[in-house]
Amino acid sequence: MSKLEIVGPRKLLADVLSLLQEAGVLQIEPDSVGFVEKKDEILVESFLPDTTTLSEQFFLESLKAKCDELFSYLLSIPLKESYIDPRSIIDTIEDTLQRHLNRCRELSHKKDELQKEVEELNRYSVFLEAIEPLLEKITETPALEFIGLTLHDQESKSLLREALMLDAEGKFEILTSTSSDGSIACLIAVQRSMSERIKKILSEKEIPELMFPPVLHDLSFVQKIDYLRRRLSEVSSEIEFIEMQLENFALKWGPIYKRVKKWLEERLSLFKASASAFETKMCFFIYGWMASDSVDALRRSLNRKFSGKVIIEELEIREEDLQRIPVILKNPRYFEPFELFTRILPLPRYTSYDPTPFIGIFFPIFFGMILGDAGYGVILTGISLVTCNYFKKNTYVQNASKILFVASLYSILFGILYGEFFGGLGHNLLGLQPLLIERRTAVIPMLYFAVSVGVVHILIGYILGFSIACKKKSKKEALCKLVSFGIILFIILLVASLFGLFPKLLTRPFILAILFLSPFLLFTGGLLAPLELMKSIGHIISYARIMAIGLTSVMLAFVANNLAGMTGDIVLGIVVAGLLHLLNIIIGVFSPTIHSLRLHYVEFFSKFLESGGRKFEPLKKEEHISEENTTW
């Protein structure tokens, strides 16, 4: 990363910012601290736009607000790209935009009112669907009146009947039907002369009557139902007609206003960027950061367009700048997909390491060690190729598919080393033999293998931590990392000698070395250093999960094959084994992924990674969006 100063005549500031926006490689620093010497600060001040510039900015902000409101009323439909130049017709656009905004606002408000009416009418739809069949059992006459209720259970129906029998002299009929939501729709048919008395009884029993809108007050019950059904159909048609009008408007005018909105955003971003510039009476100054390999190309562009009137100069990066230098994750092609996992965490600081290459190296290895089945690896390889080919425009799925492809290749490799192809199926049908270890029976050797990998992983973390401390010139931290590395190494050698892997004569020297280094650990890392060391030893032991989770996977594969053989039927056996193997594959994707990432995030990164990096956000135009992905 390079620290830059761009200088030129004040009148060229807008043009320079426009070129920088087009290039999209410079992050402008709004603070002059670290760029301008204290003795020169009095000569440099923040850029102040003139009255004309401010008026233009307010005008464009108002126009953008109108565009945002307009698009909030339009439906989400794909739009084509428009290539008009809004600058040349901005006055016409302002008048047209206001008229279109008023029209779309009117249609949208009308649609909202109709939707509220639909919600109100839908309150009755469940009741009406349940009660309509009951009306066929009753002949409506002027002497009859219907009262609608909604009950929650059969017990409420019994209590209602008892109350009406007692107080209404039995001059009524109750018809019920179960609604689609589980409630009980109840219809009481009663002589019109008794209706007020029954309504009073219902009120006293706190049983609310279904109240229809006031506009239906003079209609009979059957007429009310007909009106509600007809009105619901009318309102739905009106909403569809409004949506059709908005859709037609979006297809006709949407591409133009989308281009206008994009242009407005670009212009306003230039105004915002100009606020981060500085000036003297004659010159402007722009300070910022960019990737070092892009500096020469930007210098050539400035010289070509401004004939040497604008100068770009690289400044010295000082120690106090290290905490605010922005970070770019830039990796070789193989490691790029693994940035998907790196970006889950906060960005590393500029003084730290990008952890992506380490994930790219160790994640597939851990994944393959855990899954370790060549048959499963072949299936996952096929799935990764299919998803990568099908989702060509989805970057996240592309990266995930590429990671799965690499991890599945390691699964095939370890499957060959373990002698596993759909569990023991490869051995039974193809005579496949383990080249390294049969983990189903060799549990202890597999445990040693997993923990040994953990030792290597953790010690690499300490080496990286030591390197970072040296870069920061933090002697105590560097020495603490080095001493911790030495103590862990001697502890591992001591354990190995106790188990007979080294001559027992070396046991005493290893113990003396640990005792000799321990005081240095306290002096360099403080009282908490021994606790951190014990935690690191616990981290190493946690790599045993590679053995444990892998063992469950292989055992489930063998169980699937054994159950298939016990069925005594080829077809049924294939179905049983297939379902269990499918379950094992699904588990075999998620479980190794989660635990492999945990070994990186918790055990490995804690030894060297310093988070809190500042994201590199250059001044640039909005990325072009294809027609297929553009919706409003």
Give pLDDT, residue 126: 67
Asked if residue 623 has pLDDT above 90, the reply is: no
Q: 3-state SS of 601-612?
A: HHHHHHHCCCEC
Three-class SS of residue 152?
coil
Mean pLDDT of 376-390: 92
526: alpha, beta or left? (left if phi > 0; alpha if psi -120 to 50): left
Distance set, CA 385 to CA 551, 568, 582 (Å)? 28, 36, 18
pLDDT tens for each residue of 570-594: 888 888 888 888 998 999 889 999 9
pLDDT band of 400, cuts 50, 70, 90: very high
CB atoms within 10 A of CB 203: 11
Identify the H or E element spanning 148.
strand 144-151
Instruction: Specify which residues 9 forms β-bridges with.
Output: 283
For residue 627, pLDDT over 50 is answered with no
Mean pLDDT of 399-407: 94
Query: Buried (b) or exposed (e) across 173-188, using 16+ Cβ within 10 A?
Result: ebbbeebeeebbbbbb
Question: So what's the pLDDT on residue 361?
Answer: 94
Yes or no: say if 296 and 35 are a contact pair by the CB < 8 Å rule. Answer: no
Give the integer Cα–Cα distance in Å for 514 and 483.
10
The pLDDT of residue 43: 58
Write the DSSP symbol of residue 81.
Answer: -
Confidence of residue 624 (pLDDT cuts 50, 70, 90): very low
Which residues, in sequence order, are bridge partners of residue 149? 186
- The fold adopted by the segment(s) 141-219 is Alpha-Beta Plaits (3.30.70)
pLDDT at 350: 85
- For residue range 491-542, what is the model confidence (pLDDT) as tens digits? 888 888 887 777 777 788 888 888 888 888 888 888 888 888 888 899 999 9
- At residue 459 the predicted structure's pLDDT band, cuts being 50, 70 and 90, is very high
Query: Mean pLDDT over residues 390-394, rounded?
Result: 86
What is the DSSP track for 460-479? HHHHHHHHHHHHTT-HHHHH
170-179, 300-309, 485-494, 565-574: range with lowest mean pLDDT: 170-179
CB 189, CB 170: distance < 8 Å? no
The contacts of residue 252 (CB under 8 Å, 6+ apart) are none
Q: What is the pLDDT of residues 246-290, one digit of tens each?
A: 888 888 888 888 888 888 888 888 888 887 888 887 888 888 888
Closest CA to 540 of 482, 492, 481, 610: 492
pLDDT at 631: 44
The pLDDT of residue 92 is 83
The CA-atom distances, in angstroms, between 590 and each of 234, 267, 446 are: 51, 46, 21
* DSSP β-ladder status, 144-151 and 2-9: unpaired
How many percent of the chain have pLDDT more than 70?
Answer: 83
Query: What Å distances lie between residue 114 and 14, 109, 215, 239, 600, CA to CA?
Result: 49, 9, 16, 7, 55
* The pLDDT value given to residue 412: 94
Instruction: Please write the tens of the pLDDT for every residue from 316-333.
Output: 888 777 778 888 888 899
Asked whether the predicted pLDDT for residue 173 surpasses 80, the reply is no
Beginning with the edge strand found earlier in the chain, give each strand of the sheet holding 144-151 in spatial order.
144-151, 184-191, 172-178
What's the length of the chain? 632
Res. 628: pLDDT tops 50: no
State pLDDT tens for residues 117-154.
888 777 676 677 677 676 666 665 666 677 777 776 66
Q: Is the pLDDT of residue 465 over 50?
A: yes
Taking residues 176-184, what's their average pLDDT? Answer: 70
What phi, psi does 589 have (nearest 5°)? -90, -50
- Across 366-383, average pLDDT: 92
The two three-digit tokens of residue 127, written as one number: 């009741």
Nearest-angstrom CA–CA distance, 322 and 459? 26
**Token match 């009884």: residue?**
201
> What was the pLDDT predicted at 48?
63
Residue where the block lists tokens 């892998």: 550
Give 192 or 486, the one with higher predicted confidence.
486
Rg, Å, the chain Cα set? 37
Average pLDDT over residues 548-568: 85
Query: CA distances (Å), 409 to each of 298, 402, 406, 433, 527, in order?
Result: 42, 11, 5, 19, 45
SS3 content of the chain, % helix, strand, coil (to 5): 65, 10, 25
Contact 12, 310 (CB under 8 A): yes
Alpha carbon distance 217, 65 (integer Å): 46
| Beta-bridge partners for 311 | 7
The confidence score (pLDDT) of residue 626 equals 38
Pick from 56-60, 95-99, 451-455, 484-488: least confident: 56-60
pLDDT of the residue at 176: 73
82: pLDDT confidence band, cut at 50, 70 and 90?
low
Among residues 172, 213, 219, 174, which one has the least CA distance to residue 196?
172
Q: Is residue 64 within 8 Å of 265, Cβ to Cβ?
A: yes
**pLDDT-based confidence at 404, cuts 50/70/90?**
very high
Question: How is residue 351 annotated by DSSP?
Answer: T
Find how far residue 544's CA is from the centre of its chain.
31
Residues 6+ away with beta carbon under 8 Å from 577: 560, 561, 563, 564
Which of 287, 252, 234 lies closest to 77, judged by CA? 252
Q: What is the dihedral of CA 566, 568, 570, 572, to 10 degrees?
A: -70
Beta strands in 165-263 (DSSP E): 172-178, 184-191
Give the per-residue pLDDT at 259: 86
CA 465 – CA 492 distance, rounded (Å): 20
From 2-16, 180-194, 390-404, the region with the lowest mean pLDDT: 180-194
Q: Which residues of 5-14 are buried (b: 16+ CB within 10 A; e: fewer)?
A: bbbbeeebbb
- pLDDT for position 225: 74
- Integer distance in angstroms from the first to the last C-alpha of the chain? 38
- Identify the band that residue 630 occupies on the pLDDT scale cut at 50, 70 and 90: very low
Threshold 0.75, pTM exceeds: no
Query: Contact at 8 Å (CB) between 559 and 379?
Result: no
Tokens of 47: 């850029």
Chain mean pLDDT for the chain: 82
**Residue ranges per structural domain of the chain:** 141-219, 336-607
CA distance 361 to 368: 12
